[in-house]
Amino acid sequence: EVQLVESGGGLVQPGGSLRLSCAASGFTFSSYSMNWVRQAPGKGLEWVSYISTSTSTIYYADSVKGRFTISRDNAKNSLYLQMNSLRAEDTALYYCARVGMARSVDHWGQGTLVTVSS
Amino acid sequence: EIVLTQSPGTLSLSPGERATLSCRASQSVSSSYLAWYQQKPGQAPRLLIYAASSRATGIPDRFSGSGSGTDFTLTISRLEPEDFAVYYCQQYGNSPWAFGQGTKVEIK
């Protein structure tokens, strides 16, 4: 069974930093591209960042470009999101998500909540 | 940047009725890269449809997707009680990923 378990969320002050982690199991992690997707409280889904299997291709949403860094460790079956210069508008539930057929997201974690507030 | 606009914002229907949800793109989208998701309160989204019309594993055949170019549709042929939820479309292209704002299907 595919499992994606996020961790690292919490309360942080504006301008602060957090590092999110996602532990993957139940599939060959190194064979799949991965996304981070977030959802602000009561709002819709927003794609954040993408990383290919070998890390050769990385994309960011304009809203996080220059502040967030995605990475992965295939030996540890783990995905990461380093978030710097956090803003109130970054407050959201952050999902780790596996990229499947036709660039859809075929598996999602349960999310980790990031709250940016003073 | 491609913007996906879903309509209606809310759809009020009764169990057994047919639901038709629309997703319109601001520019042409490859139908190979259009997906639909269902999200229930407190849960992560679930993939329903990929490549515009292919059902994901385990998705009942009352869910179907269609469309091309800038207009895509998710149809639920007969609503079951567990189908009342929020639905999102998503495209992959030059953005590269984008989601629509969602359509809530609620019980009338």
User: DSSP characters for A70-102?
Assistant: EEEEGGGTEEEEEE-S--GGG-EEEEEEEE-GG
Residues whose CB is less than 8 angstroms from the CB of residue B104 and which lie 6 or more positions away in sequence, other chains included: B9, B10, B11, B85, B86, B87
Look at residue B96 in the predicted model and tell me its pLDDT.
85
Q: By CB neighbour count within 10 A (0-12 exposed, 13-18 middle, 19+ buried), where does A26 fall?
A: exposed
The model's confidence at residue A67, banded by pLDDT at 50, 70 and 90, is very high
Mean pLDDT of B69-94: 95
Is pLDDT at B99 greater than 80 in this prediction? Answer: yes
Give the pLDDT confidence score for residue B31 in this predicted structure: 77
Nearest CA in chain A to B93: A103
Q: Which amino acid is at B68?
A: S
Number of cross-chain residue pairs from A and B with Cβ atoms under 8 Å apart: 66
What pLDDT is stored for residue B26 in this prediction?
93
Tokens 């609620």 — which residue?
B106
Which residues 18-47 on chain A approach chain B with CB closer than 8 angstroms?
35, 37, 44-47
pLDDT above 80 for A117: yes
Cα angle B34, B87, A31 (rounded to 5 degrees) comes to: 50
Give the pLDDT band (50/70/90) at residue B57. very high
Per the DSSP assignment, residues forming a β-bridge with A85 are none
Instruction: Name the H helices within B1-108.
Output: none
Chain B residues within an 8 Å CB radius of A46: 99
Query: So what's the pLDDT on residue A48?
Result: 97
The predicted pLDDT at position B68 comes to 93
pLDDT at B1: 82
**Cβ within 8 Å, pair B35-A50:** no
Mean pLDDT, rounded, for B30-57: 95
Among the listed residues B108, B104, B107, B97, the one whose alpha carbon sits nearest the alpha carbon of residue B41: B104
Q: Which residue on chain B is closest to A112 by alpha carbon? A: B44
Does position A76 have pLDDT exceeding 80, yes or no?
Answer: yes
> Mean of the pLDDT values across residues B12-30?
95
> How much is the pLDDT for B93?
81
The tens digit of pLDDT for each residue in A7-66 reads 999 999 999 999 999 999 999 999 999 999 999 999 999 999 999 999 999 999 999 999
pLDDT at B95 over 80: no
Sort out which chain B residues have CB atoms less than 8 A from A103's CB and list them.
Answer: 33, 35, 92, 96-97
Q: Are strands B54-55 and A18-25 parallel, antiparallel or unpaired?
A: unpaired
Asked whether residue B82 carries a pLDDT value surpassing 80, the answer given is: yes
Output the CA–CA distances (angstroms, integers) from residue A18 to A1, A62, A113, A117, B88, in the order listed. Answer: 29, 19, 11, 13, 28
Q: Does B61 have pLDDT greater than 90?
A: yes
Q: Which residues contact B1 (CB under 8 A, 6 or more apart)?
A: A62, B94, B95, B98
More confident residue, B30 or B7: B7
In the chain, the amino acid numbered A38 is: R
Residue B94 has pLDDT above 80, yes or no: no
Whole-angstrom CA distances from A61 to B9, B40, B59 are 24, 25, 30
B96–A106 C-beta distance less than 8 A: no
pLDDT at B24: 97
